[in-house]
Amino acid sequence: MGNIPFRERLKQGVILADGAMGTTLHASGVDLSTCFDHLNLTHPAVVFDIHRDYLDAGAEIIETNTFGANRFKLAEHGLEDSVVEINRTGVSLARQAVSTSFKPDIYVAASVGPLGVWLAPFGRVTSQQAYEAFHEQISALCDAGADVLILETFSDLHELREAVRAAHSVCSLPIIAQVTFTRDDRTMLGDTPAQAARALAEMDVDVIGVNCSNGPAQIMRIVRAMQAALPLDLGMLFSAVPNAGWPENVGGRVMYASGPDYFADYAVALRDRGVSIVGGCCGTTPQHIAAMREALDNPAFVTPIVITEGVVDEEIPVASTPAPSQLAQKLRRGDFVVAVEMTPPRGIVPDKLLQAAQMLLSAGADVVDVTDSPMARMRMSPWAVCYLLQSRVGIETVLHFPTRGRNLLRVQGDLLAAHALGIRNLFVVMGDPTQIGDYPDAADNYDIVPSGLIRLIKQSLNLGKDWAGNNIGEPTSFLVSAALNLNPPDIDREMKTLEKKLASGADYLLTQPVYDVAAYRDFIKEYRQRFGEMETPVLVGLLPLYSVRHASFLHNEVPGITIPNHVMQRIADSGEDAPREGVRIAQELAGELAQLGAGIYIMPQFKRYDLSAEIIEYVRTQTG
């Protein structure tokens, strides 16, 4: 138990709560169909260790593993007669963890969630039945010695009111009451943040707030709306406990995009907004809490999150800022990124491609770039391939998005569809002219050039608007890359084009293949002389040579590719071992680039993904 009473501690500054229990249990191997609350009895050591991990991370509030331990939810597992035992044991485990941490002022918060059934008039459970169920659970929690009650993830304000009523009838413990919202900034029953705040303020609780929902950006927006709805002289205290972004199914597992650094930024921003309790909900881990602890304890930490003042209109949801993709976070951290290009199959069977992607992931690839009709030849939709790779293999993808063959209306519709499928990374290109491909008479027109498309994505869609300025609701969260030619025939034109792409908002660049690192150094030097340091990350292209004929074709017929004589000679001298020599050359280039660029972009020839895996494994030994 904390040395300072919880209500007194609330007056002394922000308090850091712990993170997700269910996410961490699942990560430890617990099946999602398991009754997590029952683990208090069957696997107490697992629950205890999670509490300790959060304590070690710096949490000051430890929530009991009792979120669903009411008679209705436990009945789904035939455990309705174990309400008291499960709840008391949940408090006991948290209390034991706190006692072994030897840290002062740590509080055990008894977690109480919704009943999992709808109350009348939406369901058949009466208000009195709900009250009795909450009374049973809360009595057990209070009797076991909890320091505070946390009523969380409620969508129905009437149900939450019954939980608060039951709590007041049982004990005088401090109460934190939290509501959850859908992606349109309303509860499941349609209440706005302002309506929820006013209702909560009437319930005689110590802290009101929001938990679960989407990521930190939405939580910040909702907290602002709740604060704006209440008079300042009311002195209401607020809590904010967001998910780690919107959950996505990746390889059969539920994954969350927001990383610890992102949460650290928002922990400070929420504190500066006057929030009294911050923590993490679904998808957060001890690593998230540790990052938040470090940021909150560091007086010099300056969050990049900008809080715009003003009252939020409760009837019109304001555009959120979704969490960045994994690739975006890696580039931001300065990780050396390895991307591999893959071409969709001609038919309807993707099995070989998926197997190859699994091999690349195991070798250490960060992302797979999926091409769109390369050489204007018919292929499976790259959207479908990206979706399959992310959902079945668990590797993040980059969708190649050509402007050619799409009018402005279709461009925007296609982008929204891609985002709905969970695709967050784009490579914007002009695309190959149809006359060189299988369908030379197909439409080849376009309404927008790559730099214009980048501007459309970054300055319209990512801000929640279409090209015409119409509100699209929730904004997209695309990371956009653009092409860069390191060996241009006209350096002035290439520099001018590059500046347009960067000014439009390109997040990183992909180059054509290089066979001499000097080409990269020379281009960056020229850029520096003209514009200053190149701050945009560059992934340098590597295309393993396969034979003398292959090398000759690239050198003589592909614009932007120059192969030095000594490289040509190495391939010629290798004879039948040319494919292996091509890999060795690429490995050497990758090793040099690991000291210079932000990453490499491997373009396998003839679908030899096995050779690409060798390059990846080599570069990972160089980059750790």
Give tens-digit pLDDT for 159-213.
999 999 999 999 999 999 999 998 878 888 778 999 999 999 999 999 999 998 8
Pairing of strands 367-370, 107-112: unpaired
For the residues 354-371, what does the mean pLDDT come to? Answer: 95
pLDDT reported for residue 436:
33
pLDDT at 252 over 60: no
The model's confidence at residue 307, banded by pLDDT at 50, 70 and 90, is: low
On whether both 520 and 619 belong to a single domain, the answer is yes
Mean pLDDT over the full length of the chain: 88
User: What CATH number did the domain enclosing 51 receive?
Assistant: 3.20.20.330
- At 7-53, the pLDDT tens digits run 999 999 999 999 999 888 988 888 878 999 999 999 999 999 999 99
pLDDT at 484 over 90: yes
Check if the beta carbon of residue 422 is closer than 8 Å to that of residue 387. yes
On whether both 203 and 277 belong to a single domain, the answer is yes
pLDDT at 550 over 80: yes
On whether both 404 and 469 belong to a single domain, the answer is yes
pLDDT at 506 over 50: yes
Note whether residue 567 is domain-resident: no
On whether both 216 and 351 belong to a single domain, the answer is no
The model's confidence at residue 406, banded by pLDDT at 50, 70 and 90, is: low
Note whether residue 428 is domain-resident: yes
494 lies in which domain range? 329-544+594-623
On whether both 235 and 335 belong to a single domain, the answer is no
- At 115-155, the pLDDT tens digits run 998 887 667 789 999 999 999 999 999 999 999 999 999 99
The model's confidence at residue 618, banded by pLDDT at 50, 70 and 90, is: very high
Q: Distance between CA atoms of 142 and 205, rounded to whole angstroms? A: 16
Note whether residue 308 is domain-resident: no
On whether both 363 and 228 belong to a single domain, the answer is no
End-to-end C-alpha distance for the chain, whole angstroms: 43
Least Cα distance to 453 among 428, 477, 427 occurs for 428
On whether both 256 and 403 belong to a single domain, the answer is no
CA dihedral 261, 262, 266, 267 (to 10 degrees): -30
Output the CA torsion sign for 88, 96, 113, 82. Answer: negative
Note whether residue 309 is domain-resident: no
User: What CATH number did the domain enclosing 425 receive?
Assistant: 3.20.20.220
Give me 489's structure tokens.
């025939």
- Per 3-state DSSP, what percentage of the chain is helix, strand, and coil (rounded to 5)? 45, 15, 40
Query: In terms of pLDDT, which residue wins out, 315 or 621?
Result: 621
What is the maximal distance between C-alpha atoms in the chain?
Answer: 88
Note whether residue 559 is domain-resident: no
On whether both 106 and 60 belong to a single domain, the answer is yes
On whether both 112 and 251 belong to a single domain, the answer is yes
pLDDT reported for residue 310:
46
Query: In terms of pLDDT, which residue wins out, 215 or 320?
Result: 215
pLDDT at 250 over 60: no
pLDDT reported for residue 441:
44
On whether both 249 and 381 belong to a single domain, the answer is no
The model's confidence at residue 560, banded by pLDDT at 50, 70 and 90, is: confident
Secondary structure (3-state) at 467: coil
| Residue that terminates a domain, selected from 297, 319, 338 | 297
Give the amino acid at 405.
G
On whether both 64 and 183 belong to a single domain, the answer is yes
Instruction: Report angle CA 392, 617, 624 to the nearest 5 degrees.
Output: 105
Secondary structure (3-state) at 607: coil
Note whether residue 378 is domain-resident: yes
Note whether residue 316 is domain-resident: no
Give me 377's structure tokens.
């030849």
pLDDT reported for residue 312:
47
For the residues 599-615, what does the mean pLDDT come to? Answer: 92
Peptide bond into 121 cis (omega under 30): yes
pLDDT reported for residue 466:
82
Number of compact structural domains in the chain? 2
Note whether residue 588 is domain-resident: no
pLDDT at 407 over 80: no
The model's confidence at residue 297, banded by pLDDT at 50, 70 and 90, is: very high
pLDDT at 158 over 90: yes
On whether both 243 and 365 belong to a single domain, the answer is no
The model's confidence at residue 253, banded by pLDDT at 50, 70 and 90, is: low
